[in-house]
Amino acid sequence: MSTLASRTIQALKAHIVDNQLEKGHKLGSLNELAQQFGVSRTVIREAVSALRSEGVVEARHGVGVFVHDKPKPEDPYSYDPELVLAPLQRLKTSFMDLLELRMAFEVHAAGLAAARRSWAQESNIWDAARQFEASLDDEAALDHLDFVFHRSIAEATNNGAFIEFFSLMSLQILPQPAFSKQLNPALITPDYVQNTVREHRAICEAISTGNSDQAREAMRAHLNRSHLRYRGFSNGGASPLSNVARDE
């Protein structure tokens, strides 16, 4: 994440806290926010995407960006993700390479979650899957809810390194927005989204039974289907999502 995007994230958080903005308050459209904070659409989109992942804002397609929850107080002893990720950002790697990295990480995480999850963590995974299924008509919400589902599985590994890695790398590994029919009409079809629902359920069921092999296989099937579709629509290594957050 660029330094300018990081500063914009902090400015947006400060704006919400300083003005005591409540849940549901409309912050504005991407164009309005870009003008308000003096940055490009690319930068404001990157900042909003990061804040959506944190649960601070929600974006409603064609409507605008709204406050979802107040930012949590900054931990003075926490690391700076920008500094931690700096070496990774210098790597010359493709979108498909990152998807393969995600496969290796999340397949193993699903197996660990099946073996180690608590009752509360299992409930969180199911809740995230159900919320995704209940929000199929809200395209803007699907990206965040899919992120929450995969994050809840990482948390259920009860492995601090897995949880931190997911938090740090989620914006690099998870394409945003992944469920935009407008940006990717040939990729994001009703059947594609319904298959995602079924695959989420299969992962939940495998984790609930405590079957690590089955959980890994369910996650592998889920990610492999997505990855094959991205690769099938790619052209010379360029993802169909490669246009996201790159236009001015």
Interval 8-13 mean pLDDT: 87
Give the pLDDT confidence score for residue 125 in this predicted structure: 95
**What was the pLDDT predicted at 1?**
42
Q: List the chain domain ranges.
A: 3-67, 81-233
Confidence grade of residue 178 (pLDDT, cut at 50, 70, 90): low
- The whole-chain average pLDDT of the chain stands at 78
pLDDT reading at 98 higher than 90: no
Homologous superfamily of 81-233: GntR ligand-binding domain-like (1.20.120.530)
Query: Which pTM was predicted?
Result: 0.58
HSE of 152, CA atoms in CB hemisphere, 13 A: 25
- CA 168 – CA 1 distance, rounded (Å): 10
Cβ(231)–Cβ(98) below 8 Å = no
Q: Which range among 10-24, 89-103, 156-170, 183-197 has the greatest average pLDDT? A: 10-24
Between CA 151 and CA 247 the distance in angstroms is: 28
More confident residue, 24 or 138: 24
Residue 238, pLDDT score: 43
Which residues have CB under 8 Å from 114's CB, separation 6+? 206, 207, 209, 210, 211, 212, 214, 215
Dist CA 78 CA 76 (whole Å): 6
pLDDT of residue 245: 32
Q: How far apart are CA 183 and CA 180, in angstroms?
A: 5
pLDDT score recorded for residue 38: 84
114-162 tens-digit pLDDT: 999 999 999 999 999 999 998 887 766 777 788 889 989 999 999 988 8
Higher-confidence position of 165 and 198: 198
Q: Give me the CATH topology for the region 3-67.
A: Arc Repressor Mutant, subunit A (1.10.10)
Name the more confident of 143 and 30: 30
pLDDT band (50, 70, 90) for residue 242 = very low
For residue 191, the model assigns a pLDDT of 80
Identify the band that residue 240 occupies on the pLDDT scale cut at 50, 70 and 90.
very low
Predicted pLDDT at 109: 95
Q: What pLDDT score does 146 carry?
A: 84
